[in-house]
Amino acid sequence: MITPYEPLHRAAVVDLLDRSLLPEDAAEAADIVELLSGSAGFVAIDGDAIDGDVVGVALASTGRKDPSVGHLDLLVVDPAFRRQGLARELVAAVEGQLRARGLTAVRVAGNPPTHAWPGVDVRYTPAVCALTALGYAHDRTAWNMTADLAEGSPALRETRTAQERLAAAHVVVRAATTDDLRELRPLIAAQWGPAWVAEVERAVGGTGGCHVAIRDGQPIAFAAWGGCRPSWFGPMGTLPAAAGLGIGGVLLRRCLRDQADRGITRAQIGWVGPVPFYSGAAGAVIERVFFLFHKSL
């Protein structure tokens, strides 16, 4: 039975993700469901609506950058119930919901600031096959880099020496507090957009952490982690006028140290652009690859 997703299904959906996702995603099942709490959609129930088990879920949201487009944020079917048409039914229900709102297309891609993945990890082969069969076109590819957070790894190299060099150039690096948000919000919004503001707010507000570089009393760079998922690093930005000082590497490693101190052993640097920077600064390697899809309604 396909029925609208309700808050009462949340615990059952967490259990579904825990038994259905890759280990690195299953470990954050509760965080993913909480992150997507603003999405709407449907669940597949094996049995009646009261006593049946949730064996599938599809959640979607309206595009925050382009409100004419919907985003399929989550599609999971219990491995024991695959190849029974549940993915097709769930996606059809979501598409109908989006079409009723007047939306013209669906993307399977991150919908910042509340994206759990950039797209579909290629290791979720059943999801790739299901979406392809349902008429979704693979139009882009994204990738994450992974930083090993074991003691002695490049990701946890000390930053004291570099911070002393920056201090000599009147740049102070420190952990951000909620008081810093007053100046960080307009800076980030102007340079990188409102989605990054929301992620940094969540990180500073308690789901993760953030570090800033200050010169002449003003922030010139920042780096955050945990704004979407605990093991994920980002976003990070440096003002053009401060580029080339080595600030980014310091902020990155301070965040990765925070994550290591929280017991995280492998950090995900999501939706990576500058691969050489993260490789050099933290020994990160390209690991997770994601297909992004699109379909007109």
pLDDT at 182 over 90: yes
**287-296 CB burial, b ≥16 within 10 A, e <16:** ebebbbbebe
> What pLDDT is stored for residue 101 in this prediction?
94
Q: What is the CA radius of gyration of the chain?
A: 20
Nearest to 155 by CA among 96, 102, 225: 225
pLDDT over 90, % of the chain: 95
> What pLDDT is stored for residue 205 in this prediction?
86
Region 60-71: mean pLDDT is: 96
Could you tell me which residue, 240 or 50, shows the higher pLDDT?
240
Q: Are 131 and 279 in contact (CB under 8 A)?
A: no
pLDDT at 51 over 80: no
Half-sphere exposure of 257 (CA within 13 A, CB side): 15
Q: CA 226 to CA 236: how far, in whole Å?
A: 12
Q: What DSSP element (H or E) covers 159?
A: none
Which two structure tokens, joined as six digits, stand for 196?
Answer: 């990054």
Q: Which residues contact 44 (CB under 8 A, 6 or more apart)?
A: 1, 2, 54, 55, 56, 57, 77, 81, 86, 89, 90
Q: How far is residue 215 from each of residues 168, 173, 221, 239, 241, measured CA to CA in Å?
A: 11, 9, 9, 11, 11
286: which strand partners? 145
Mean pLDDT across the chain: 96
Over residues 183-218, the pLDDT tens digits come to 999 999 999 999 999 999 999 988 899 999 999 999
Contacts of the segment 62-66: beta carbons below 8 A, 24+ positions apart: 62/98, 62/101, 62/103, 63/107, 63/111, 64/111, 64/112, 64/113, 64/195, 65/112, 65/195
Q: pTM of this prediction?
A: 0.93
pLDDT at 164 over 70: yes
Region 270-285: mean pLDDT is: 95
pLDDT over 70, % of the chain: 99
pLDDT at 17 over 90: yes
> What pLDDT is stored for residue 50 in this prediction?
65
Region 237-255: mean pLDDT is: 96
pLDDT at 273 over 90: no
Region 107-130: mean pLDDT is: 95
